[in-house]
Structure 1
Amino acid sequence: MTTAVIRALGALAHDAAHTPAPAGCDCPPPVVLADRADGTVVRSGAVVAKAHAPGTDTAALAARLWLSARPALADVLLAPLPVPAQPPTAPVTAAERPARPSSYLTELHGRPVTLWPYGEPVDPGDPDAAPWEEAAALLARLHRSAFPAPGLPVPPALPAPALPVPGLPAPALPAMRGPAKAALAVDRMRAARPGDPSTVPVLAAWQRLPGWARDETPAPADRARFLCHGDLHLGQLVRHPAPRGRWLLIDVDDAGIGDATWDLARPAAWYAAGLLPPEVWFRFLGAYRAAGGPALPADGDPWPELDVAARALTVQTAALALAKSAAEGRDPDEVEQMMIGSCARIATLPPELATGNAS
């Protein structure tokens, strides 16, 4: 993303962190927390500004923001902040100033922009402290949550100036984007490595998935009925208020209604590939079940339910590994090779297992 947009994001976050802005502010400069194709995140003090991916469906994003702001999910999802009405006070040009805000969503240089309170992320340098059990419990609560059907009134407790306003119909929540992201990862791999033999096992594993897991058909009706996060990994958890608050899920860009096993599939895939230690996987699994997570039976073998989504996340991870390594002009590293190897094993599954409709 351009320096101008990053500067404008910092100005927006700064203004939101200082309402009203103090005279002679001596705050440290904004910090870029992430700058990727799917989003740029800039922090100023206690506020984070995020520019979402180009081409984001803003109606779907608005519905997801509404979901995040629901008081009933305050102990599960980090709630967005209203975008301040005043223009940035930092020295930016008129073209760099955010559009006049409306609720939780505004636009900046053609990109949807949102504001969030800063939360303390998981420490990547301390894997033993990774909050796997907390993540599982949050997912269980999310999956158990009821959601208003489209057209029902929004609860009056919804904080102003949220969209939609109290008394107006609730938005239609979009589908969880997990299968769509898997399909995009495979497309990205194909574009990065056309005709490359290294993609053969990944594509073979992809073709053995049922159509719903490849985003070609709707998910089975008995499973596609839960609130889902859509992209669970440890980078999607923060403590709020920082640094010692409760753990909450962040980044609802892929959230929606869908198959709840998708939220469990990444750790399941890592466990199956040998990347996640068994004791960690069983802690995660046990915490989800103990919290009443509805995606799995309360006891017994979870794999009949997890199998399809776990295989899809294996393919997605391997496809992204091949795409990224090609872009960087290198061979896949050891961890990436393990996921590609998992795809090779998936590709040898008997047809009755490879095309099952589990979960």
Structure 2
Amino acid sequence: MLPVLTAHVRAAGTGTPTTLADRPDATVLRLGDTVVKAHAPGTDPAHLARRLETAAKLPGVLLPPLTPTTEELRDRLVTTWPYGAPVDPDAPAAAPWEAVAALLARLHRSTPHPALPPMRGPAKAARAVTRLRAALAGRPHPAARPVLAAWAALPAWARAEAPMPGPAVLCHGDLHLGQLVRHPAPDGPWRLIDVDDLGLGVPAWDLARPAAWYACGLLPPEQWTRFLTAYREAGGPAVPVTGDPWPALDIPARALTVQTAALAITKALAADRPLDEVEQSVADACARMPAR
């Protein structure tokens, strides 16, 4: 897809575009202040339209698209966005946890479009496990069994095998620091990006990745506390205002840990290499999860 999208972007402007991402599920190019994204094959056009409409109506939370419509290029839907400056990955201590928490709380309190589809967090976790099982065919991995056991112990909704419990809330669906940019770049306010998984669901899923990192020892306690405190102070509904947040976070955090471990093992098998220290810590966390 990269050569096709590059030619498309060059035809629409001057200069050579920069590749921001080139994966099977997304190809993203930047040309000046414009970002062009080819979405995953098979993306539902009606669902994407509702997600774009939602982003356009919440410009104080989500980065709005430059145009509310999509183009079709080969078999892919293409959208255009303003460029935003991402979080600096080399300065983890300066990560804007308070900003992302406040944006999440505002998103979760927003009135959703009535035709918005379910958020795709559980579906992405299920896809990661499916990929792991395919990679394991004829080639076992010692870390895989506890990961699959932890997956089997999750309730059906967290495995995308049943509807999510209500009440449904507007959710991002794939929240991590890579989904945060400053617009206008480089010093504008923070905004959430990537609407591909946006939809109705359990808001605790959007807190699950940092919660899982904290539980695995990958996110320092002070950063987790900053994030959780800011979310609560902004009125976020995913966890109680006071008290223990883990009854709400436990299932989503376990699901995200399994998803992360499944992807890590799949990549390690493809590269014929052992798990690195971070990947092993996530796989070990799956082994500590209660069995069904």
TM-score class, shorter: over 0.9
Equivalent residue number for residue 79 of structure 1: 64
Cα pair 2:36 2:79 within 8 Å, conserved: yes
Cα pair 2:149 2:291 within 8 Å, conserved: no
5+ residue gaps, structure 1, are 15-26, 83-102, 150-171, 352-359
Q: Secondary structure of 2:8's match?
A: helix
Q: Secondary structure of 2:218's match?
A: coil
Equivalent residue number for residue 36 of structure 1: 23
Equivalent residue number for residue 281 of structure 1: 224
259 and 10 in structure 1: CA distance in 2 versus 1, 3 angstrom threshold? farther
Shift of 1:38: 1.1
Distance 1:337 1:10 in 2: 42
Shift of 1:7: 2.4
Aligned 1:37-186 pairs, distance under 5 A:
37-70=24-57, 73-82=58-67, 103-149=68-114, 172-186=115-129
Query: Are positions 1:260 and 2:245 aligned together?
Result: no
TM-score scaled by length of structure 1: 0.79
5+ residue gaps, structure 2, are none
Q: For 1:111, give the aligned amino acid.
A: R
Cα pair 2:216 2:282 within 8 Å, conserved: yes
Q: For 1:81, give the aligned amino acid.
A: L
TM-score scaled by length of structure 2: 0.96
Shift of 1:57: 1.2
Equivalent residue number for residue 253 of structure 2: 310
Distance 1:226 1:294 in 2: 9
Shift of 1:10: 4.2
Shift of 1:350: 5.9
Q: Secondary structure of 2:288's match?
A: helix
Equivalent residue number for residue 168 of structure 1: none
Of 143, 150, 153, 1:198 maps to 143
Q: Secondary structure of 2:63's match?
A: coil
Equivalent residue number for residue 343 of structure 1: 286
Distance 1:219 1:325 in 2: 31
Cα pair 1:182 1:313 within 8 Å, conserved: yes
Shift of 1:56: 1.1
Distance 1:263 1:119 in 2: 21
More off after superposition, 329-338 vs 189-198? 189-198
Shift of 1:330: 1.2
Shift of 1:5: 2.9
Deviation per CA, 1:109-156: give whole Å up to 9, x if none: 21100000000011111112211110011000000111243xxxxxxx
Distance 1:6 1:329 in 2: 32
Shift of 1:295: 0.8
Distance 1:28 1:126 in 2: 31
Equivalent residue number for residue 191 of structure 2: 248
Deviation per CA, 1:166-212: give whole Å up to 9, x if none: xxxxxx10000000000000001111122614310100000000000
Query: Are positions 1:321 and 2:264 aligned together?
Result: yes
Query: Are positions 1:211 and 2:211 aligned together?
Result: no
Cα pair 1:30 1:44 within 8 Å, conserved: yes
Q: Secondary structure of 2:223's match?
A: helix
Q: For 2:89, give the aligned amino acid.
A: P
Equivalent residue number for residue 333 of structure 1: 276
Deviation per CA, 1:291-340: give whole Å up to 9, x if none: 00011100100000100000000000000001111122211111000000
- Identity level (%): 62
Cα pair 2:2 2:22 within 8 Å, conserved: no
Q: Secondary structure of 1:232's match?
A: coil
Q: Secondary structure of 1:115's match?
A: strand
Q: Secondary structure of 1:69's match?
A: helix
Q: Secondary structure of 1:42's match?
A: strand
Query: Are positions 1:230 and 2:173 aligned together?
Result: yes
Distance 2:7 2:275 in 1: 35
Equivalent residue number for residue 233 of structure 2: 290
| Aligned-residue CA RMSD (Å) | 1.3
Equivalent residue number for residue 11 of structure 1: 11
Q: Secondary structure of 1:43's match?
A: strand
Aligned residues: 290
Looking at CA atoms only, which structure, 1 or 2, has the larger radius of gyration?
Answer: 1
Deviation per CA, 1:75-100: give whole Å up to 9, x if none: 10000012xxxxxxxxxxxxxxxxxx
Cα pair 2:9 2:31 within 8 Å, conserved: no
Q: For 1:130, give the aligned amino acid.
A: A
